[in-house]
Chain A
Amino acid sequence: MSKTITIDGKTIPFEDGQTIMEAATAADVYIPHLCHHPEFTPHGSCKLCTVKVNGRNCSACTFPAAEGQDVLNNTQELIDDRRKITQMLFVEGNHFCPSCEKTGNCQLQAVAYHLNMLDDHFPLFYPNREMDASHPDVLIDHNRCIFCALCVRASQQHDGKNVFAISGRGINKHLIFNAESGQLKDTDLDKNDKAAHICPTGAILIKRTGYQVPIGQRIYDHHEIDEVSLATTEHQHGE
């Protein structure tokens, strides 16, 4: 007999060592997430994947599944709070979706749609953040970074490099590059690196490809993020 947990009353099998997120995904249950990607070590920072495990809030992407756990995922309370956490991510940066190259392919935007986010709710921070356009093929727009560290992990764990890091404390967190000049052009990032393609938002963009797929024909213009997330085992959404 395989071990099981329940998610919103539904029985879900799991294997030892799996997180709640992994068990859920394998069973076609979507748990909203942004900093999680199945190929990389979980980070547990965005907190969008928060579920109630036996009454306690836990991050599904890092919390190990264990026999008999009673997990709540789609409760109104969790959905409302996940929306507010998403709104926090929006107000903290500068996200002007209509003018962003990533619109329609952006997971942050898609999660916001999914959670029925209709406004910013919180006061905007309007931080003063810059762009780094120094690299011939890759553009960084710090305004849209949500500090999910996916680029950091992809560079280390997939590309065998160490191009990105997150520096600073608290609200002053920011993305930095591993080069003496601090500029992206002086790192060993290549446009074919996984790290250049992993960003869930429009913070890392490949130059000269932005409008190859017209707005209106992009992934989340037609599909909900839960559907995309579960359909692509590779989780290549936004590509």
Chain B
Amino acid sequence: MQVFIENLAADHQYQPTRLLLILRAIQARYHYIPEPAIQQLAGLLNIPSTQIIGVVEFYSFFHLQPRGQYELLISDSITDAMLGKHNLMGYLSEKLQVSVGAVRSDGLVSLDNTSCTGLCDQGPAGLVNGYPLTRLDRPRIDLIADLINQQKPVEAWPSELFEVEDNLVKSGLLLEQPIQQGAALKATFKRGLKETLVEINQSGLRGRGGAGFKTAMKWQFCSEEQETVRYVVCNADEGEPGTFKDRVLLNSYADQVFEGMTVCAAIIGASQGFLYLRGEYLFLYDKLQTVLEQRRAAGLLGNNILGQGVGFDIEICLGAGAYICGEESALIESLEGKMGVPRNRPPYPVTQGYLGKPTVVSNVESFMAAAAIAEQGGNWFAAIGTEKSKGTKILSLCGDCAKPGIYEYPFGTTIQTILDECGADDVLGVQVGGPSGTFISNQEFHRKLAFEDLATGGSFIIFNSSRNILDIVNNFTHFFAHESCGFCTPCRVGTSLLKKQLDKIIEGHGSAGDVVSLEEICQLVKSYSHCGLGQTAANPILTTLERYPELYANRLKKISYEPGFDLDAALETARRMANRHDAAAHLAQVGEDHE
């Protein structure tokens, strides 16, 4: 192991910023991060061992204790649940003789849940040693169990298990006509860098990652900084459950995305760029490296791009299972090899980002659109959409519809239009923008896709009337509690409180006042949290409570006080210890008799 780690650190030039990549390699080989490896790495990278432990304990894909040689993770996304995930998980657990969250006694396999893997259009999905398993069903699970029990290396598993489809259903402005390789850069150099920024400004392009900040403005701020070392970062963390459009863009339009990054680099004067790829998209890594190689060979990356004296290159960094790393300042921390804890702002990344230098962080789709605009001009893009939301939005549609997949729509399109086209009937509601977005009811389908009405980073989850809203809210609320980085009090404690309080109500232990308490916690988490995760973590509850107050009220008991737990169940241990089975050793839940 010592030699392996020595070589690994050398491969990464002993750079602490590469910590995540190094740890990924150790986890892949040993299926945990052994203590001696931590000590050795601390010495080699010249960082405190506590930084390494911190990182290992922060990211879901790293472990201090051994996991199985086959690390199986099954996606916990609501859409997977709707496709029968719970049933499958039970089957898998039985078949493999391992309980959820555990490692089998022979150490061969471990099984656990993981947050949305970005495969909601082809779930139930999972990961084995980091590689995606799609369309899981019982026959596939039988096969997987056999392969594991035969100890077949994952590389030798049948490739159909790992097939990831694009499911590109509806193309528009961007997807219909990808740019020719190099066309955007040529147009940019021909027009002039400043002039191209004017075009991007003219286009009205707003960030596609969620917040909707004007892309040209962000690039401009960064270019105006005194500091001359600047960075371009493409945010491909895509962690919002139900979002998978960046997966498809990187699978089939990566060249254009990299071109957009290069246009940005030329404009702001950056010589280094990063693609921060979520760990779940490991399967895209080699392919993306090939695209980069090919662009280098074509003179579109490197020291002297298109002979214009501009030097720029792109490095791919992989995440390791943390939704918070999609938040731009947490992403930068992660790029630096640290825990993904959001920074205090100001200063913003455009002023002080990666290694303290001015940094543009934009979404995959933003770069892709910028490349097209650089070629076609601003008006081409601005001609489509609404006054405040120009151009198109690429959606990842999933849930209860005939054709889940990728759809590109002009901003301003109504929800009803989208539902009609994807074959969704009997719709109860739609979660627009993922758990951090809004749940809209079937009374609101006239509403529009737009920053000024319903904004989304791409997630669009459809629920038909067979679905239970509280189950959905419960899934989302647990997601946020699991993904809270824990830095600030309102989110760290508040998301756990929300989870407990919601569980109490859903399990039927709530009484008068409990919905009011729930709302109170929601307001605290929303108003006082440090970053967008906490600020939106209460949205699933708030947006459904607003629309379906009776759903919550109906779960309450008509008494003034109800213990938050099952009294009788709590006595179980005591009964066992006392060896008592008689009626007197049981307790009725207080108040139930008065109902």
Contacts and interface: CB of A to CB of B under 8 A. Distances in A.
Interface of A: 42, 44-48, 50, 57, 59, 62, 64, 81, 84-85, 88-89, 91-92, 122-123, 125, 146-147, 162, 164-173, 176-178, 180
A44 B501 CA distance: 27
Contacts of A180: 35, 39, 49
Contacts of B51: 165
A123 B500 contact: yes
Given A44-B344, A81-B524, A89 B486 contact: no
A169 B496 contact: no
A122 B496 CA distance: 11
B530 interface: yes
Interface stretch (B461-469, B476-484, B577-585): B476-484
Contact of B344 (A42, A92, A162, A177): A42
Most buried by B among A42, A146, A169, A176: A169
Given A81-B527, A166-B54, A88 B497 contact: yes
Given A45-B487, A165-B51, A178-B49, A173 B492 contact: yes
B528 A167 contact: no
A151 to B, nearest CB: 12
B492 to A, nearest CB: 6
Interface in B393-434: none
Nearest to B500: A123
B485 interface: yes
A44 B530 contact: yes
Contacts of A146: 489
B564 interface: yes
B58 A169 contact: yes
Contacts of B229: none
A170 B481 contact: yes
Contact of A57 (B346, B486, B521, B528): B528
Contact of A170 (B483, B490, B521): B483
A85 B484 CA distance: 16
A48 B488 CA distance: 10
B50 interface: yes
B493 interface: yes
Contacts of B54: 165-168, 176
Nearest to B490: A47
B57 interface: yes
Nearest to B501: A123
A177 B49 CA distance: 9
A64 B494 CA distance: 26
A135 B300 CA distance: 59
Contact of B527 (A57, A62, A125, A162): A57
Contacts of A123: 497, 500-501, 564
B495 interface: yes
A46 B527 contact: no
B48 interface: yes
Given A169-B322, A170-B484, A176-B53, A88 B493 contact: yes
A167 B57 contact: yes
Contacts of B50: 162, 164-165, 167, 176-178
Contacts of A172: 57, 486
Nearest to B487: A45
Given A64-B346, A162-B50, A165-B50, A171 B493 contact: yes
17 contacts: A44-B344, A44-B488, A47-B489, A50-B528, A81-B528, A84-B520, A85-B528, A125-B496, A146-B489, A166-B54, A167-B339, A169-B485, A171-B492, A171-B495, A171-B496, A173-B486, A178-B49
A162 B50 CA distance: 9
B256 to A, nearest CB: 35
Closest 4 CB pairs of A and B: A165-B50, A88-B493, A173-B486, A170-B484
A33 to B, nearest CB: 12
A16 to B, nearest CB: 13
A239 to B, nearest CB: 24
Contact of A91 (B346, B493, B520): B493
A156 B239 CA distance: 33
A44 B49 CA distance: 24
A19 to B, nearest CB: 10
Majority SS of interface residues in chain B? helix
Contacts of A173: 486, 492
A162 B48 contact: yes
A169 B58 CA distance: 5
Contacts of B493: 88-89, 91-92, 122, 171
Interface in B527-561: 527-530
Interface of B: 35, 39, 48-51, 53-54, 57-59, 322, 339, 344, 346, 481-490, 492-497, 500-501, 520-521, 524, 527-530, 564
Contacts of A169: 57-59, 322, 339, 484-486
Contacts of B484: 169-171
A6 to B, nearest CB: 21
Contacts of A147: 486, 492
Contact of B488 (A46, A168, A177): A46
Most buried by A among B493, B497, B524: B493
Nearest to B343: A44
B296 to A, nearest CB: 37
Contact of B524 (A84, A92, A164): A84
Nearest to A85: B489
Contacts of B57: 167-169, 172
Given A167-B53, A178-B49, A59 B344 contact: yes
Given A45-B530, A85-B524, A168-B57, A122 B497 contact: yes
Given A84-B524, A178-B48, 11 more contacts: A45-B487, A45-B488, A47-B489, A89-B493, A165-B51, A169-B58, A170-B496, A171-B481, A171-B486, A171-B495, A176-B53
A54 to B, nearest CB: 15
Given A62-B344, A91-B493, A165-B51, A47 B488 contact: yes
B140 to A, nearest CB: 31
Contacts of B486: 147, 168-173
Given A170-B483, A170-B484, A171-B492, A165 B524 contact: no
Contacts of B489: 45-48, 85, 88-89, 146
Nearest to B346: A64
Contact of A88 (B322, B482, B485, B494): B494
A175 to B, nearest CB: 10
A40 to B, nearest CB: 13
Contacts of B492: 92, 147, 170-171, 173
A165 B42 CA distance: 14
A47 B530 contact: yes
A216 B560 CA distance: 39
B129 to A, nearest CB: 22
Contacts of A167: 50, 53-54, 57-58, 339
B535 to A, nearest CB: 10
Contacts of A57: 527-528
Contact of B495 (A45, A47, A170): A170
A199 B23 CA distance: 32
A46 B50 CA distance: 22
A158 to B, nearest CB: 16
Nearest to B56: A167
A169 B322 CA distance: 9
A178 B42 CA distance: 11
Contacts of A62: 344
A92 B488 CA distance: 12
